[in-house]
Amino acid sequence: MVTQPWPSTDPGSATAVETVDPRADRYLRACRREPVDATPVWFMRQAGRSLPEFRAVRARASLVEITRDPALCAEVTLQPVHRLGVDAAILFADITTPFTGLGVAFDIKPGIGPVIETPVRTAADVARLRDFDPEAHVGPLLEAIRLVRAESPVPLIGFAGAPFTLACYLIEGGPSREFLRTRGFMHAEPAAWAELMGRLVETTVRYLAAQVEAGVQAVQIFDSWVGGLGPRDYDLHVGPWMRRLFEDLASLTVPRTHFGIGTAGLLSRQAAAGGDVIGLDWRIALADGWGLVGSRAVQGNLDPALLLGPFEAVADAANWILDQADGRPGHIFNLGHGVLPATDPDDLRRLVDLVHERTSRRSTR
């Protein structure tokens, strides 16, 4: 664990202090829109397929097996902290991890993603979902949190899928581009939809509360598929549930990030639903997105595909984003979505260093 500065009691060393990792609180301070010594950086999917050390773990364990082995999960979670120099760790898991506790069998297939054995397609299917018990259903993951907290020099972020995105997986049976079954169910079965969304809100609150109790210091809600909706459907069928979710999470007293993909047209609605930090994808300029979400911190928003090309293009785009942030308190540098598997980890490290070096000149601490 990182220790806080404390003056030496040795009279011959009056100026000596313990060494403190400068990453210890950058991220949390930025979430609260407080001054920081340098803009914090972390990456969605930073622990994953782009790291050779992760691929070595995957050679002997599946994704599901990693999340069920506390020591292995903690190891993978901390790999990017050590290799990339990021300012936060994010728990290694999948947004579908709680499904087993709901009585939903699934597998995470390489190159495809989560695949549901028996999708939810009727009101009766919704009624059969079980109550989620974090200790019983994700106990090893909670133990992994405790292990990470004992070792990490940076804050640990917990996360969960948003109710709409989880509903998409449950109803579609796996990843989808148009979410036609989900949108059809939402309109054709309004009572069952409300029951499903209520169950998923309750599950997500329990899941994140357990993560916070185990030691995570912030949480992120991934609404990965909500960008497929128009504003009217969001207002009628998703927004009220997101407001309930964030109201119920307020008692956790940790920063809450609200992130979606393809949501440039929904950002003001997402901000109204809740979140201390609003995540921006790469489809909107950071300054424009920040203007839409008001007095909140923002996270983002480099196009992850740029990291597949020359680093000069990455540096130019990163500097453009930092110019738009203009040193204002409350910017957390991230990608607009997750790290792509073919990304060179050395370029991720260079990007972290670039952001830190560029913004440290504006230190107010």
Q: How far apart are CA 80 and CA 124, in angstroms?
A: 43
- Tokens representing 287 are 């300054």
- Tokens representing 122 are 């009727």
Query: Is 45 considered catalytic here?
Result: yes
The dihedrals phi and psi of 182, each to the nearest 5 degrees, come to -65, -50
Q: Which has the closest alpha carbon to 175: 238, 221, 220, 224? A: 224
Active-site position among 32, 33, 58, 121: 58
- Tokens representing 321 are 């984003």
Active-site position among 45, 206, 256, 296: 45
Query: Is 58 considered catalytic here?
Result: yes
Active-site position among 87, 94, 276, 347: 94
Query: Is 362 considered catalytic here?
Result: no
Query: Is 169 considered catalytic here?
Result: yes
**98 and 137 in contact (C-beta within 8 Å)?**
yes
Beta bridge partners of 332: 299
Active-site position among 32, 33, 37, 49: 49
Active-site position among 25, 26, 29, 169: 169
b/e sequence 270-289, b meaning 16+ C-beta within 10 Å:
bbebbbbbbbbbbbbebeeb
Query: Is 121 considered catalytic here?
Result: no
- Tokens representing 284 are 């909107």
Residues marked active site are found at: 45, 49, 58, 94, 169
